[in-house]
Amino acid sequence: MKLAILGGGGVRMPAFVRAVLASRPGMFDEICLFEPAEERRNTICRLAAGIADALGHPGVVTVTPDAAEAFTGADYVFSAIRVGGDRGRVIDEQVALTRGIVGQETTGPGGCAMALRTIPVVLAYCDLLSRCAPDAVLINFTNPAGLITQAISAQAKVRAVGVCDTPGGTVERLGAFLGSAGPGFGEVAASYAGLNHLGWVSSVRVGGDERIGELLARFEELQAFDHRFAAFDPAMVRRVGAIPTEYVYYFYDARRYLDGVAQAGSSRGQDVLRLNNELLAALSKAFGSDGVDAAWSAYDMLLGVRRDTYMHTDMQGDSGQGAARARRAARPEPGLAEARVGGYEGLALRVIDGLSGREPRELIVNTRNGGGTGSAGRLSLPFLRPDDVVEVPALVGPGGLAAQPAAGLPDSGQALVMQVKEYERAVVEAAMTGDAGLAGVALALHPLVPGITAARELIAEYRAAHAEHLAYLS
């Protein structure tokens, strides 16, 4: 079985390759990393290939700057690209922030700009994939994941599913919190629904007993238990009646986010840009003298700091890097063979396990609201269209994906989902037609944007700043 990775030079790919080879040896005959940037091929991709060799799988990881070569013979393709790179993310954030609007990479103006420059590139890759490997399945975690998956679905040239680990990670932490509260911890089941980075957990059952009321009542304790809930107002969450996933924060408390970034003096994108530049420099130095073990040590340290400080600036007004570096330096270094698979990488592998028949299961994914194979025409979210991409539980098996009916979405959440989905539809149409005017209208539909005048000004500024990537809009 061959896995091709679009964005093979992404900073998380060596960790993914190590986890796959350590936890699922022999699952893939070839993992082909497609990366057009030479610097990334010589650092990130080189580390991934070196890890494979060190773990006793020489030749499994291949690297190429040729997309057709990567796609040919592929059974599955992961898409994890960032058009415009880390500097593009900084532009996305800063253009919005200078206007006092949420500047985040996946939602609001930043998410719109990212989608507009990414959709044409992804669709071109999908066209090539449909010719090189027509039976391959594309697993998308290119952000904004739901919106990009919506565009891929609209093009209808490849089979695709979008993945994001936020919902599953939220459910896991809720279960862990309840399990730590006393005896009787059993299997955790939950009800979740929404869009990518805009979803709510409305039910949590442990050992068959409903515990959502307890979670709402003890929300302050939950906030102390896990940082992803810390920024939400407990009274507001109780009124809504469901647990929001972390990205709902930008909708619920935009002012706190803006104040936090101002206090920190830099956005998350600027923090990540500096970390990634440091990581690439560290890898170049390590390969110049000490080899793969030293490269892995530097890589694991800096990637760990990035993970540990996730959303720290946005929620706490400080990057948190100093404390994260100190904690990491005090820990024993993990060995290459340690098999830890988590986050979106773990979810992507579980999707492949299901589709290949290795282990069919229910997973929260981004897929068509119409349900797909075996859905008998049911809509997961009845208030949206059948062809809308939604984030809901789906049965994943050899026959494909069957989205399940999603119950319990709160009224206020439903209203937000309807508005954001209309924005997403318009962004996809603008990107597929190259209509700059429609792009402005689309952005004006987003609840974080204060009207059409601001939206058109934002689009104009993004077009100027991103130049070549948005030149297709007219």
Burial string for 89-98 (b: 16+ CB within 10 Å, else e) reads bbbbbbbbbe
* CA atoms of 279 and 300, how far apart (whole Å): 9
Supply angle C-alpha 110, 112, 116, rounded to 5.
120
Residue 458 CB-half CA count within 13 A: 37
3-state secondary structure 177-225: HHHCCCCCCCCEEEEEEEECCEEEEEEEEECCEECHHHHHHCHHHHHHH
Q: Which pLDDT score, from 0 to 100, does residue 377 have? A: 62
Under 8 Å CB-to-CB from 213, ≥6 apart: which residues?
none
Which residue, 257, 277, 256, is CA-closest to 267?
A: 257
Percentages helix, strand, coil for the chain (3-state, rounded to 5) are 55, 15, 30
Given this model, what pLDDT does residue 24 score?
Answer: 84
The span from the CA of 17 to the CA of 20, in Å, is 5
Can you tell me whether residue 28 is helix, strand or coil? Answer: coil
pLDDT of residue 374: 45
User: For residue 46, what is the enclosing H or E element?
Assistant: helix 46-54
The H or E element spanning position 323 is: helix 321-330
Radius of gyration in angstroms for the set of CA atoms belonging to the chain, rounded to a whole number: 21
Q: Residue 328 has which token pair? A: 């990491």
CA nearest to 259, candidates 108, 97, 458? 97
CB 33 within 8 A of CB 13: yes
pLDDT of residue 373: 47
Q: What is the pLDDT of residues 122-181, one digit of tens each?
A: 999 999 999 999 999 999 999 999 999 999 999 999 999 999 999 999 999 999 999 854
CB 83 within 8 A of CB 117: yes
- Compute φ and ψ for 342, nearest 5 degrees: -145, -175
The Cα-based distances of 212 to 1, 201, 202 in angstroms read: 42, 9, 7
Q: Under 8 Å CB-to-CB from 71, ≥6 apart: which residues?
A: 4, 77, 128, 129, 132, 133, 136
**118: its two tokens:** 């990414």
Q: What is the pTM of this model?
A: 0.95
Closest to 449 in 3D by CA, of 293, 264, 254: 254
Q: Can you say how many angstroms the Cα of residue 259 is from the centroid of all Cα atoms in its chain?
A: 25
pLDDT of residue 375: 46
> Which parts of the chain sit beneath pLDDT 50?
181, 183-184, 339, 373-375
Question: Taking CA 196 as the corner, what is the angle to CA 245 and CA 97, rounded to the nearest 5 degrees?
Answer: 80
The span from the first CA to the last CA of the chain, in angstroms, equals 42
